[in-house]
Amino acid sequence: MRRDIFQAIADPTRRAIIAMIALQPMTPNALAEHFDTTRQAVSKHLKILTECELVKQEHQGREIYYQLEIDKMKEIDKWLEQFKKIWESRFSQLDDLLDAIKEK
């Protein structure tokens, strides 16, 4: 089943995993040490992130390291950009209103 990026980032544990592997590639065991959960649960989260192509695997000997696919994160940023423009416009309107109130 093909998963959606936004399904992947909806979960706080997966967002935390993304934040950690953004700094450096990590193994499932290294990631599991940061959570109050099993290694199997972390592996399930990694599977979902891999299916969404947010992370990729790199084999080094017997270890598998997961690292962030930064280009896929740009897809999220592009989607969020539309909302950023809306809020910037609203804040600008609020600034104008506050300036008008101050002048009175």
| Token pair in block for residue 69 | 């696919």
Q: Retrieve residue 6's tokens.
A: 């936004």
**H/E segment holding residue 98:** helix 70-103
Identity (one letter) of the amino acid at 50?
A: T
Output the pLDDT for position 1: 57
- For residue 66, the cross-strand partners are 26, 57
Structural domains of the chain sorted by starting position, each given as residue range(s) with its CATH number in brackets: 5-103 (1.10.10.10)
Tell me the CA distances in angstroms from 93 to 34, 90, 100, 102, one per residue in order.
Answer: 43, 5, 11, 14
Contact 46, 16 (CB under 8 A): no
Residues in CB range of 57: below 8 A, 6 or more apart: 50, 64, 65, 66
Structure tokens at 42: 């972390």
**What is the full per-residue pLDDT of the chain (104 aa) written as tens digits?**
567 888 889 999 999 999 999 999 999 999 999 999 899 999 999 999 999 999 999 999 999 999 999 888 888 888 889 899 899 999 999 998 999 899 88
Residue linked to tokens 């990694």: 46
